[in-house]
Structure 1
Amino acid sequence: MRSQHTAIDRQSLVRRHNVHQQSLDPRSPVSVGNGEFCFTLDLTGMQSMPGRYPVGARSELPPGTLLGTQSQWGWHAVPADGEYSLAGSTVTYDSPRGPVPYVDMVGDIVDGRETDTSRAETWLRANPHRLDLGRIGFSLPDRDNPDIQAADIVDPRQILDLWTGTATSTFALSGHPAHVTTACHPEQDLLGFRIESAALDQGLAVTLAFPYGSEAWHNAADWDQPAAHSTRVAEAEPQRWVIQRDLDGSGYQVAITGTGLVVEQTGRHEVLIRAEPGQEVLDFAVHFVSAGQGDCLPRGTGGISGIGKPATPEPAAAPAAATAAEAGTAVIDASRQGWATFWKSGAAVDLSGTADPRALEVERRTVLSQYLTAINCSGSLPPQETGLVCNSWRGRFHLEMHWWHAAHFATWNRTALLLPALRWYATVMDSGRQTAKDQGFDGVRWPKQVGPDGRESPSPIGTFLIWQQPHPIHLAELAYRAEPSRELLAEFAEVVFATADFMASFAHPTARGFELGPPLVPAQESYESVRGTASNPTFELAYWQWALRLASAWRERLGLPPREDWEAVAAGMVPPKVMDGTYAAIDVEPFTIRTDHPSMLCALGVLPQTGLVDPAIMRATLREVLADWDWDSTWGWDYPVLAMTAARLDDPEAAVDALLLDAGKNLILPNGHNRQTDSLPLYLPGNGGLLAAVALMAAGWDDGPERSAPGFPADWDVAWEGLVRSP
């Protein structure tokens, strides 16, 4: 086995997993982006055929599309019909401390369908929602049906070059060869296109079309309400046109830059870009700019290079790089430089020396997951589960999933990509503190399903989850381990300490020790129906103990006196329930339901060894899960959980098998997407979880085996560099 110090040819490693496509695969479009902004494209290098890339209906909703243009700041809210508040969904539950109010849901969710919900609950669950900022695609405006059809595209070939973040698409259209290069600027919401084709002189054009916002579960664009929003070319000058967009108090601008262009508004919400007569090259940039008003939020910090972006809205003027004669080429060049910097930084894992055929697939998934999490999960907000590709849960993000999206940035030595979204927690502390106070707890109780404002959503599940509570402590600790500094400790101390305050007060003392719940729903959401009686989930017990001890360590590092209440709760947590030699999911009936996440495994996998977990019992639990679990009901991050638990239990063969387990939710498509269902065509927690598992398996963990790559089989040739050891 090679040493971790072996130099890796990173360019070869990355490029051998470039995405090549020669036919339209509706499940597998590629994207370009930078963590704050993302553009998903079809085989034309644009969004010319959105109808061919549908997202299947969920709860009988109209279909959406994967070909989105989304940003961290681009949000919208439909005007409310009245004064909606969470009070109408609040239900009082009995708890060991007495009656406690919880935001619940008068309606219900059955097989993903929201039933009997009031308009207030629907609005509160759906607003604000992430907005599709616009569709950019080829058109043939001089024919009766200007839309491009799949039959119009002959002999397509597309390559997403991961090393440069650029997509090149070649095809024939109207009898003419076409070559399209697409890229996103690494630090700005700026797309670059270079189109080379004689068809440009024969009528081929580019259309920008703009939708209204949608309250649908998966669809970020509503094309059926043209009167509800406005689009106008607000400014025009040589080489630059600015489009003003207004939606219910939200606003943004779109600047088109380039020479040799003819730009005109051809419809209420359509703008056409043509090449001047005689030209066979169209080189232009499209810059999306937040107006910093309403629900379209100002830009934060983020981007693949980790360089901070301004917290105030950018001016409408196009950036200097895009005012040159070849505006699109300038963006493409910036992408090439930015992505090369990304891949040369951080960590790398090379499995090419391993004869085992599984190694190449693990490596492919690992490289593609780095690209996808960089463009979708490294921005200034915690990501939605489908990132910036398309909506799920209306684009609202789930804080219990934040660890799965982003923890790996620290272990892969790219902490700068973790910090922007981690800083978001400080912006919603007031509302989280009020939630805790209303329920009689100290500190801050973090919400579950939210938009940028941090306002909770009505739900019979989400508001009862507790496993998102320790996440900010865990993420901050990973950041500190990767880049230890007093400045980082000071920056996140308030978030860490307020989180610990809530956790310590939530755990209630009994004759047995400190216990959790009821009410609650564990990470394994199969217990929703018993949320009023569920208590002491195995994973959450261990997480509570470990995270409270981390918070105590932060106080010690900062020279602050210890908190005896935190330490007492951590020392006194009750042990998890053991039945027939294995860990149960919760300690009351039904004890263990064999569907959804086998989350008890997280207690020694995601977490290191704690005093609450017996490795021998966890080993038996892992065997039982592998032998008899309903894999169809699992989710993409469950397989990295299996791998991390197996690795920590010194079973590397089982760890690799788990990463590649042949199950529907563990499918990784040619573009790297972890497909779950028709309504969840990608699932980034699966990609992020894979990266966390591979880092642990390669670099090891505290107090683990000293051999190189302890989580991989002994006969594997694992070369790695730059990884940070896991806790």
Structure 2
Amino acid sequence: MLAQDSCESLTSAADPQTLLPFNSLSSWAWHNDSLPADGENIDDYHGVPKLTHGRNVSYDDTDPNLPEATQWLIGNPNRINLGRIGLQYKNLTSLPASLVTDAVQTLDVWNGTITSTFRLDGTLVTVVTQGDFDSDTVAFQIDSDLIRSGDLRVFLDFPYPPIHTTAYKYEVFVGVYDFPLNHTTRLQRVCKERDTAAHIFHELQSTKYHVNLRWPASDPLRLFKDEPDGSAAVTAHRFTLCPRESKSASSSISFTAHFSPDRRLPDLPASIRRRNVAAWNEYWTEGGFVDITASTNPKADELQRRIVLSQYHMRVNSAATGQSPQESGLMNNGWYGKFHMEMLVWHHGQWSVWGRQQYFDSIFPQLYETFLPSSMARARAMGWDGARWPKMTEVNTGRNSPGSINALLMWQQVRLFDPHPMYLANLAYQADPTRETLQRWDRVITATANYMASYAWKNDTSGHYDLGPPAYGVTENTPPDQSLNLAYEVAYWRWGLDAACDWKRKLGQPVPDAWTTVAQNMAPPPVVDGLYADYEGLNGSWWYDAKLSKDPRSLVMLRGILPDTVAVDPEVARRTADKVHEVWTDEKIFGWGRPVLAINSARIGNPQRAIDHLTAYDYYQFDDAGFANRGSGKSFPRQLVTPYNSDTANKSSVEGTPPPFIAGNGAFLYSVAYLAAGWKGSTEHAPGFPKDGSWVVKHEGLRQVL
């Protein structure tokens, strides 16, 4: 799986200055930084002990005695930029932005084609870009009289990963050009392919891959390296692709760039175009759809735009095999390119409820199976049974990146965003209620439930089973050493164990006594003054504590996101939702907060509030390309003019998560399905849309949410 950013960069030949230095990211290309040079050994890291119900348990927290080793484990491995492909104009020492005018970029979502047109120094340039679903290949068609004159050429350039300190937690423009001697690039040719293909081999220590290039024999190209091998220049790893001298009269360049660990002959551009269009057409004719174009509500058009573009972006960024994308998809690097297990439902739950189950099944339960050995070893080392799933990780190591949130966040164990296997397994069973589905998920369900039953602590005073402390809740803003029986967590723990018991009954297998004992005696979600409270021990004043109430989304998740459970009183949940609506104001809501609020509002019978949350466009922002914004009314500029060879290209991203926020697009689609098709047990048409006459909702192929 690979994505090439859709905006072509324009770079001058002599003084590398880029307008848009974007990325080519994949799900397979990773790199390890050099080990700490201060004498610290990463093998000496064993976590940090915390007192947990009378015994010391080693958690994957930041070790103050091994700061460099801890940081290395957080930042490694890191996803790399496979290379930048752009257009090079003349031998200018700089390229003023004023030279580029009349820029228009059009995305044809039906055919999966991006067409960019602009005038460069007054001359028209057209670039058509298409990706391939079947291989990590991008096909390009570039047309301009500037090609005929020799002024416009294609360049390929290869950055090196920066040293991944905390300053590189987020990278908008992945990689730097400051270390040309740390890696090598070599041009490789095969004689019989001399006129139609070339290969670039890139080696970064143990990371090695090829860029396989091919073009039509009717329009031969030549590829050369701009600098000799061993050059220390910032352009040391730049290559130029242009028409052969014998074809200098050509005004077009057509080629494919295939990224792969292996050298191979890729398909021609025409083949990629045919296959790509057919695959996109098939995608749009399968699965579900929601049509609100007949609505008279003035907010309907923008909502429809977001529905269509979110489906496009999810197909590009979240349809992997056996793994999940990072939160910024294959566009930028957030958290060093690693994905977050608590986001799994937002990334992939929408596949199931939108009737595209094959994309869901290509990830689950394989993802959990991959992590099962390391997760079971983690649980054993901490003194518990079953599998303790990681939070921030990747499939190569299965390691949980150290950090206080990563160590103590609970919801990836049962919450539907991280690896909540019970929730995802029930989505799979709803789509295919067969014994085969039950058996396919059984190992993962069993390991998860064994951990849950083992982790819950029997409180002999109350007779209940408690969760935490230490613990962080959904919103990561509760004091971990005081967070006893977080409301959402204990309710979900009860639902999850009940679901595991039901799974075993469906299989005709015995239900472990520990599961039922813990489930039936779980501590209830704490209630204060008739409302659910964040965690046990609070009084009613907590609603006015800005540290706790700035993001109370976990309490609205008790009704809607969480399927019906005996642990939650619907009336208390309704009153709590009304209180959350009062204290959680627009400027504080970000990320997947609005989809959660919309789902909750529909579930408690307030569809007007539900649609208001999804159409609060002043605060709930998607950019012009349809990417969800993680922040609240704030976004990074999409077009930055930054030095091409310096780490300052990434400084703008240090202050917050880089856009886009693919989990936000997935959460949005999940909420739209909830509002349109309803939830298990609902019978009304489009129960989450107001019946005021301004909304006309048609849908097909959707499944009800759990």
Alignment of 1:193-204 (within 5 A): 193-203=140-150, 204=152
Structure 1 counterpart of 2:213, which letter? I
Q: Report the more deviating stretch, 713-722 or 239-248.
A: 713-722
Aligned residue for 1:287, secondary structure, equals strand
Is the alpha carbon distance of 1:480 and 1:97 closer, same or farther for their aligned partners in structure 2, counting shifts above 3 Å? farther
Indicate the SS of the match to 1:490: helix
Counterpart in 2 of 1:372? 313
Q: Which amino acid aligns with 1:202?
A: S
Identity of aligned residues (%): 33
Does structure 2 retain, via aligned residues, the 8 Å contact 1:537–1:600?
Answer: no
Name the structure 1 match of 2:385. 442
Listed as ranges, the matches of 1:309-348 within 5 Å are 316-319=263-266, 322=267, 327-348=268-289
Is 1:700 paired with 2:678? yes
Task: Please name the residue that 1:725 is paired with.
Answer: 704
Structure 1 match to 2:330: 388
The partner residue of 2:615 within 627, 641, 660 is 660
Q: Which amino acid is the alignment partner of residue 712 of structure 1?
A: F
User: Contact (CA 8 Å) 2:8, 2:87: kept in 1 or not?
Assistant: no
What's 1:465 paired with?
409
Distance 1:447 1:186, change over 3 A: same
**Which deviations, in whole Å up to 9, do the C-alpha atoms of 1:30-70 show, x marking residues without a partner?**
xxxxxx111112267999998545xxxxxxxxxxx6x2110
Please list the CA deviations of residues 491-524 of structure 1 after superposition, one character each: whole Å capped at 9, or x if unmatched: 2221121111111111122224222111111111
TM-score in terms of structure 1 length:
0.84
Of 451, 463, 484, the residue aligned with 2:394 is: 451
Q: Which amino acid aligns with 1:264?
A: F
Contact 2:159 2:175 survives alignment (8 Å):
yes
Q: SS of 1:674's equivalent?
A: coil
- Shift of the 96–228 alpha-carbon distance from structure 1 to 2, 3 Å rule, reads same
**CA distance 1:223–1:486, shift in 2 (3 Å):** farther
| Number of the residue aligned with 2:363 | 421
Distance 1:588 1:374, change over 3 A: farther
8 Å Cα contact 2:212/2:265 also seen in 1 = yes
Q: Counterpart in 2 of 1:192?
A: 139
Q: Hey, what does 2:457 align to over in structure 1?
A: 508
1:176 CA displacement? 2.6
Counterpart of 2:624 in structure 1 is 670
CA distance in 2, matches of 1:579, 1:179: 63
Instruction: Evaluate the alpha carbon distance shift between residue 612 and residue 519 of structure 1 in structure 2; reply closer, same or farther with a 3 A threshold.
Output: same
**1:41 match: secondary structure:** coil
Q: Would the alpha carbon gap of residues 553 and 158 (structure 1) be closer, same or farther in structure 2, given more than 3 Å must change?
A: same
Mapped to 2, the partners of 1:449 and 1:99 lie a distance apart of 23
In structure 1, distance between residues paired with 2:463 and 2:586: 35
- Counterpart of 1:230 in structure 2: which amino acid? T
- State the superposition RMSD in angstroms: 2.2
Shift of 1:244: 0.7
Equivalent runs, 1:556-575 vs 2, <5 Å: 556-575=505-524
Aligned twin of 2:254: 283
Q: Which blocks of at least 5 consecutive residues in structure 1 are unaligned?
A: 1-35, 54-64, 108-115, 292-315
For the residues of structure 2 that align with 1:366 and 1:317, how far apart are their CA atoms? 38
416, 438, 442: which one aligns with 1:489: 438
- When normalised by structure 2's length, the TM-score is 0.86
- Is structure 2 residue 13 aligned with structure 1 residue 37? no
Shift of residue 148 of structure 1? 5.3
Q: 1:639 to 1:117 in 2, by over 3 A?
A: farther
TM superposition outliers: structure 1 runs of 4+ over 4 Å: 43-51, 589-592, 630-633
Matched, 1:139 2:88: yes
Aligned to 1:58: none
Structure 2: give runs of 5+ residues left out of the alignment.
228-235, 415-419, 637-652
Query: Given that residues 89 and 105 in structure 1 are in contact (C-alpha distance below 8 angstroms), is that contact kept between their aligned partners in structure 2?
Result: no
Deviation for aligned residue 1:439: 1.4
Distance 1:501 1:604, change over 3 A: same
Q: Following the alignment from structure 1 to structure 2, what is the Cα–Cα distance between the partners of residues 272 and 483?
A: 51
TM-aligned CA distance change 1:177 to 1:51, over 3 Å: closer
Aligned to 2:447: 498
CA distance in 2, matches of 1:369, 1:193: 24
1:14-413 matches, within 5 Å, as 36-42=1-7, 51-53=18-20, 67-81=22-36, 84-85=41-42, 88=45, 90-96=47-53, 98-106=55-63, 118-140=67-89, 142-145=90-93, 149-203=96-150, 204-214=152-162, 215=164, 216-219=168-171, 220-236=174-190, 237-238=193-194, 239-259=196-216, 260-267=220-227, 268-276=236-244, 277-291=248-262, 316-319=263-266, 322=267, 327-380=268-321, 381-413=323-355
**Tell me, what secondary structure is at the counterpart of 2:3?**
strand
2:594 aligned residue: 639
What per-residue deviation string (whole Å, max 9, x for no partner) do you get for residues 558-585 of structure 1? Answer: 2222222212222222211112222111
Q: Which amino acid aligns with 1:133?
A: L
1:685 equivalent in alignment to 2:639: no
Q: Distance in 2 between matches of 1:663 and 1:446?
A: 37
Partner SS for 1:606? coil
The answer to whether the 8 Å contact 1:89/1:121 transfers is: no
Change (3 A) 1:487 1:388: same
User: How far, CA to CA, are the matches of 2:425 and 2:203 in structure 1?
Assistant: 38
1:676-712 CA distances to partner (integer Å, 9 max, x unpaired)? 25432221221111111111111111122x1111111
- Kept in 2, the 8 Å contact 1:537–1:586? The answer is yes
In the alignment, what sits opposite 2:649? none
The change in CA–CA distance for 1:43 and 1:223 in structure 2 (over 3 A counts) is closer
Deviation at 1:667, TM superposition (A): 1.0
Distance 1:518 1:646, change over 3 A: same
Query: Which of 521, 532, 536 is residue 472 of structure 2 equivalent to?
Result: 521
Distance 1:625 1:285 in 2: 52
**How many angstroms does 1:235 deviate by?**
2.5
Contact map agreement 1:349 1:719 (CA 8 A) in 2: yes
- 2:524 counterpart SS class: coil
CA distance in 2, matches of 1:47, 1:633: 43
**AA matched with 2:259:** F
Helix, strand or coil at the partner of 1:155: strand
Contact 1:45–1:169 under 8 Å retained in 2: no
Residue 504 of structure 1 contacts residue 566 of structure 1 at CA under 8 Å; is this kept in 2?
yes
**Residue type matched to 2:45 in 1?**
G
**3-state SS of 2:598 partner:** helix
Number of residue pairs aligned between Structure 1 and Structure 2? 636
Structure 2: how far apart are the matches of 1:660 and 1:602? 20
- Cα deviation, residue 485, structure 1: 3.2
Secondary structure at the counterpart of residue 596 of structure 2: helix
Question: Secondary structure, in 3 states, of the residue corresponding to 1:604?
Answer: coil
Give the C-alpha shift of residue 174 in structure 1: 3.8
- 1:613 and 1:643 map into 2 onto residues whose CA distance is 19
2:456 and 2:91 mapped to 1: Cα distance? Answer: 68
> Which string of whole-angstrom CA distances, capped at 9 and with x for unpartnered residues, describes residues 470-504 of structure 1?
21221122122123333332222211211111111
Aligned-residue offset at 1:136: 0.2
Task: Sort the Cα spacing of 1:331 and 1:597 in 2 relative to 1 into closer, same or farther, 3 A.
Answer: farther
Whole-angstrom CA distance in 1 between matches of 2:40 and 2:278: 50
Aligned to 1:586: 535
Kindly report which structure 2 residues correspond to 1:534-553, keeping only aligned pairs within 5 A, or say none: 534-553=483-502
Provide the residue aligned with 2:647 in structure 1.
none
> Which residue in 2 is equivalent to 1:10?
none
Change (3 A) 1:45 1:443: farther
User: How many angstroms apart in 2 are the aligned matches of 1:43 and 1:240?
Assistant: 22
- After superposition, give the CA deviation of every residue in 1:213-250 in whole Å (9 maximum; x if it has no partner): 23222233121111111111123433110111111111
User: Which of the numbers 522, 526, 549 marks the counterpart of 1:577?
Assistant: 526
Counterpart residue number, 1:478: 427
Partner Cα separation in structure 1 for residue 347 and residue 386 of structure 2: 25
Aligned partner of 1:307 in structure 2 is none
